[in-house]
Amino acid sequence: MHPVRRLLACLMLAASCGAAAQSFPSKALKLVVPHAPGGNSDTFGRIIAAKLSERLGQQVIVENRVGAGGTVASEFVARAAPDGYTILVGDNGTHGVAPTLYTRLPYKVPGDFTSITLAATFPTVILVNPAVPAKNAQEFIALAKAQPGKLTYSSAGTGNGSHLTVDMFLQAAGNLELVHIPYKGGAPAVQAVLAGDVQLTAVSVNTSLPHIKSGRMRALAIASSKRSPTIPDVPTLAESGIKGAEADSWLAIFGPAGIPEAIVAKLNQEIAAVLHVPETKERLAGVGLEVVASPAAQLAAMLPAEVRKWGEAVKRSGARVD
């Protein structure tokens, strides 16, 4: 193409994108949630959708697309039109773990997505049944070393974040030998610890809080980079002398690749405004979520490191899904 024509084409495209952004949104948006109702991503999505609908003057419809560890929903959004009307609540499972865990993942991270904002983070807690004679992480390590292969831990499934978080803890603590018992979901994994069928597990802070308060579970440490304001007396693994086991969990908003920058900026601005509303922050804090509301570029920059970190954990654990 002639240089002048190329310049004119670029100017026309920029003008059309600018016009589209000015009129965006002119219809309802779809916020796709990769997990079933009741979990962190669903609760978060519904809180945000209600407030975002008010701000945008257009309905934001939550659609749960459950299956394959959140990858069904992620693929759906990756294949959607890049116009900003279909967005995803992604997490460290769908965009950190999945690229290594699944041998035939039908999307690429970050290539098939537009980063919009790192919305919130939430800590994971290492927990034991109170009958376990260990009051903290170091005491548990000593107990496990004294009887290798005798203690057990539950997870929400092989390759799930709970599995990988415990595995990172065991590796960082000196390659502790525990037997992994995977369950079909977080609820039965927690119930196994409550019943004393297994000794240890790792779950999100909001799931663990009622059991910690009731004394039916004991928190050994937070498997995240900082303490949780919800349980401020529980130290991090790093504070407990166990380095390299930070497994911060997060929720982020993505769209399909190719959304115009002006529309990304609009979505980022409006979602950030919703997240910083005091009522929203309070409601999210109630389920253990801490608001971040990052610029789009920050989320895009962190993704490769997240894929590497969780990918290494997947490889060490030996977990694979065909």
Give per-residue pLDDT as tens, 60-111.
999 999 998 899 999 999 999 999 999 999 999 999 999 999 999 999 999 9
Tokens of 257: 């690749």
The pLDDT tens digits for 290-300 are: 999 999 999 99
Give one DSSP letter per residue of 34-83, joined into a string.
SS-TTSHHHHHHHHHHHHHHHHHTS-EEEEE---GGGHHHHHHHHTS-SS
User: What does the pLDDT read at residue 287?
Assistant: 86
The string of DSSP codes covering 243-273 is -S----EEEEEEEETT--HHHHHHHHHHHHH
pTM over 0.75: yes
pLDDT band at 232 (very low <50, low <70, confident <90, very high): very high
**Residue 124's closest CA among 210, 227, 265?**
227
CA angle in degrees (0–180, nearest 5) for 243-303-290: 70
143-178 confidence digits (pLDDT tens):
999 999 999 999 988 899 999 999 999 999 999 999
CA distance 123 to 171: 19
Residue 284's pLDDT is: 93
What is the per-residue pLDDT for 38?
80
What pLDDT is recorded for position 21?
67
Q: Compute how many other C-beta atoms are within 10 angstroms of the C-beta atom of residue 291.
A: 17
| pLDDT computed for residue 72 by the predictor | 96
> Average pLDDT for residues 29-49, to the nearest whole number?
93
- The domains found in the chain, sorted by start residue, are 25-122+249-317 (3.40.190.150), 124-222 (3.40.190.10)
Rounded to an integer, what distance in angstroms lies between the CA atom of residue 99 and that of residue 69?
A: 12
Q: Which H/E stretch holds residue 9?
A: helix 3-23
Query: What is the average per-residue pLDDT within 23-45?
Result: 93
Percent of the chain with pLDDT over 70: 93
**Which of 2-6, 93-97, 103-107, 283-287 has the lowest average pLDDT?**
2-6
Predicted pLDDT at 131:
97
Residue 37 has pLDDT above 90, yes or no: no
Mean pLDDT of 223-237: 92
pLDDT at 246: 86
- Is the confidence at residue 7, as pLDDT, over 70? no
- CA-nearest of 117, 124, 119, 123 to 292 is 119
Average pLDDT over residues 10-36: 75
CA distance 81 to 77: 8
For position 6, what pLDDT does the model report?
45
Please compute the mean of the pLDDT values over residues 15-35 and round it to a whole number: 82
Q: How confident is the model at residue 10 (pLDDT cuts 50, 70, 90)?
A: very low
Q: Could you tell me the CA-to-CA distances from 249 to 71, 174, 185, 226, 245 in Å, in that order?
A: 17, 23, 17, 12, 12
Phi, psi of 15 (to 5 degrees): -65, -40
Question: Which tokens is 196 given?
Answer: 């004393």
Write out the two tokens for 221: 């440490």
Tens digit of each residue's pLDDT (9 = 90 or more) over 217-227? 999 999 998 99
Distance of CA 36 to the CA centre of its chain: 14
